[in-house]
Structure 1
Amino acid sequence: MTKRRPVGVEEEFLVVDLESRRLTPLAQAMLDKLPDEGYAAELQRSVVETNSTPMEDLRDVRAEIVRLRRALVSAGEPLGVGVIAAGTTPLTGVDGYTFTPGERYQYLSDAYQFLAQEQLICGAQVHVEIDDRDVAVLAAQRVEAWLPPLLALSASSPYWLNEDSGYASSRALAWQRWPTAGPVGPYANAAEYDRTADDLVASGVIEDRGMVYFDIRLSAHVPTVEMRICDSCPLVNDVVLLAGLFRALIIRESEAVEKGEPPRGEERLALLRAANWRAARSGLEDDLLSPLTSRPMPAPQLITWMLDDLRPTLEELGDWEMVSELADQALRRGSAASRQRGALAMNGRPEDAVDLLLAETREG
């Protein structure tokens, strides 16, 4: 029987004024009303982060995400602010571009200039526990080809600097500008991975290993693998779906490594990058690239096939019923990017798209 591994979720939220619907630098005022555990500041003062306690049961993961969100919303309401879980916001505003005080954030501002200044993007990161770092680094590389469909499921950032970007995830494109963002491999073992991380720090391009921003990375401090490719998702069920799929992928590929089975997914860097770009462009509303052949397939067809491919692992974990239902819901709704565009198109008001995000984030 395949053993469930604990899974944790980090979510980043944009803080908006409930009257103007624009970003506001009041994240710290909200944090002052919240416990230290589970909540953190980010580079921009209009962004706040939550960190869930790792859980084995996806129902517990969902309950923990809901608990953290409710406390965040409750902290903001007396201040006249709300939070939206999305890769970017339809409305920015000059007040949103304010750095959080602190030595590290000052370093990021000085070293990276407009990359840091435009870092008004939010992601959802999923951590899965795995003890053997050699297995972890090989499994991570095998999972990479399967991550673009997860980006497509999360796509929630059609707007960039108050304009429609033409992409479902403008956040994904903005994030790729950072010097260590992108595919992880190739590495033969954990020692090679660690040596590369250390060499990146020694190069002076990054300050520490916390700035190794691969799409999927190993923690330097705890035995986990972390997926970093996804947008923040307004609906809790979509976050749980991503957590369930990513855990199943890591477990399946870890077991395949231990059995000495060859990789099944695309491993060529150029095609991995092309698949990520395609997912950012399309979301769920157009083609994605097959993890096996790199040929285009309609997104719903590919994700349905991917679910069937993962079904044996999901069933062994006891997650099949929940994950398949959440995936069906996601495909029927369409991406959060598409929903925002639909809300704006009704009356031509970006405020309506913000209201949609506020409601979905609050209600889960």
Structure 2
Amino acid sequence: MTKKRPVGVEEEFLVVDLETRRLTPLAESMLERLPDEGFAAELQRSVVETNSTPMEDLGDVRAEIVRLRQALVSAGEPLGVGVIASGTTPVTGIEGYTFTPGERYEYLSESYRFLAQEQLICGAQVHVEIDDRDVAVLAAQRVEPWLPPLLALSASSPYWMDEDSGYASSRALTWQRWPTAGPLGPFADAAEYDRTAEDLVASGVIEDRGMVYFDLRLSAHVPTVEMRICDSCPLADDVVLLAGLFRALMTREMEAVERGEPPAGEQRLALLRAANWRAARDGLEGDLLSPVTSRPEPAPRLITWMLEELRPTLEKLGDWEIVSELADAALRRGSSASRQRGAHAVSGKPEDAVDLLLAETRQR
């Protein structure tokens, strides 16, 4: 019987001044107005994070995401600030480049210099519960070829340093500069994964295992696997879609590993990187590389095909109806990157793209 595994979501938000629409270093002031559980600071003082309670039902996941977002909105309004869930912001402002105090953040600033200074990017991470770490690490590697469509669905960062980057997800490219970011493995089992993580720490390149930033990573403390490839999404529905798709992918591949079936997706590192780059460049508005053939296909057609491939698993999980409806809506809307560019183009003012993000982020 297919197990319906709890999923949790971490979301990062940029804090913006509601008058100027520029980034503002008031995340700590917002956090003072919020409970400790579910909310956290980040490296930059213009970024705040939420952490949802893991839940099985996707409707409950959505309600929790909205609850945490509304709490952020309520905490920010008396301070004259709002939050936007996007990979980057169309309007930056020098005020946004301020590090959060603390020993860990000082280490990051001193060790990684401009990588840390330019870490004004936000992602959405999804955690899925696992039973067996050996099975999970093998399944995660089989899931990797299917991640670029999820990156395309999330693409919300067309702007970098106040300019159009030419990419749907500039965040994805910026994130890849970190020394441990990128595809997972290859690993034969969880022990090899753990040895590699410990060797990375021993090398001095990273300080601890929390800085292992693979696109998919196993937690060292709790029985979960985490997807880290996606941009923050302004619409809560898109986050739920990502959670549903990722859970289905992990469920399908863990069951396939247990049955001894060969992987269906293309797992060569060069092609994985190429597929991720293509998704970051074009989002939903161009071609994606097929996870099976690595040949280009229009994004909507490929994602529709992927849904049909996942349909048996989604139906066993009871998620087919909600995931298919959310996917259809996402494909009709187009990517957040495209919507932001559209809002900017109408008036010629990047602040209008920020207003769009503010409105979408606070939707219930």
Shorter-normalised TM-score: what interval? over 0.9
Aligned to 2:357: 357
- Could you list the structure 1 runs, at least 4 aligned residues long, displaced by more than 6 angstroms after superposition: none
Aligned 1:113-262 pairs, distance under 5 A: 113-262=113-262
State the distance in 2 between where 1:351 and 1:260 align: 53
Instruction: Quote the Cα distance in structure 2 between the aligned partners of 1:72 and 1:17.
Output: 14
Matched position secondary structure for 1:363: coil
What percent of counterpart residues are identical? Answer: 86
Partner of 1:325: 325
Secondary structure of residue in 1 paired with 2:331: helix
Give the SS at the match of 1:264: coil
Mapping 1:66-105, distance limit 5 Å? 66-105=66-105
Write the distance in 1 (CA, Å) between the matches of 2:66 and 2:287: 32
Q: Deviations over 1:85-139 (max 9, x none)?
A: 0000000000000000000000000000000000000000000000200001000
Cα-to-partner distance string for 1:6-43 (whole Å, 9 max, x where unaligned): 00000000000000000000000000000000000000
Give the Cα–Cα distance (whole angstroms) in 1 for the partners of residues 240 and 58 of structure 2: 7
Determine the structure 1 residue equivalent to 2:48: 48
Between the aligned partners of 1:273 and 1:86, the Cα distance in structure 2 is: 22
User: Which one-letter code corresponds to 2:114 in the other structure?
Assistant: F
TM-score scaled by length of structure 2: 1.00
Shift, 1:3, TM fit: 1.3
Counterpart CA distance in 1 for 2:198 and 2:265 is 28
Task: Name the count of aligned residue pairs.
Answer: 364
Is the partner of 1:306 in helix, strand or coil? helix
- After TM superposition, the score normalised by the length of structure 1 is 1.00
Q: Distance in 2 between matches of 1:356 and 1:266?
A: 37
- State the distance in 2 between where 1:2 and 1:260 align: 16
Alpha-carbon RMSD across the aligned residues, in angstroms, is 0.4
Per-residue CA shift, 1:143-184, capped at 9, x if unaligned? 000000000000000000000000000000000000000000
Task: Give the AA of the match of 2:215.
Answer: D
Q: Distance in 1 between matches of 2:211 and 2:188?
A: 22
CA distance in structure 1 between the aligned counterparts of 2:36 and 2:76, rounded to whole angstroms = 16
CA distance in structure 2 between the partners assigned to 1:307 and 1:188 by the alignment:
29
1:265 aligns with 2:265: yes
CA distance in 2, matches of 1:220, 1:3: 22
Correspondence for 1:32 = 32
Aligned to 1:313: 313
Amino acid paired to 1:54: P
Shift of 1:212: 0.1
Unaligned runs of 5+ in 2: none
1:290 is matched with which residue? 290
Per-residue Cα deviation, 1:196-231 (whole angstroms, up to 9, x for no partner): 000000000000000000000000100000000000
The residue aligned with 1:59 is: 59
Shift of 1:359: 0.1
- Amino acid corresponding to residue 189 of structure 2 in structure 1: N
| Residue in structure 1 matched with residue 304 of structure 2 by the alignment | 304
- Residue 362 of structure 2 aligns to a residue whose secondary structure is helix
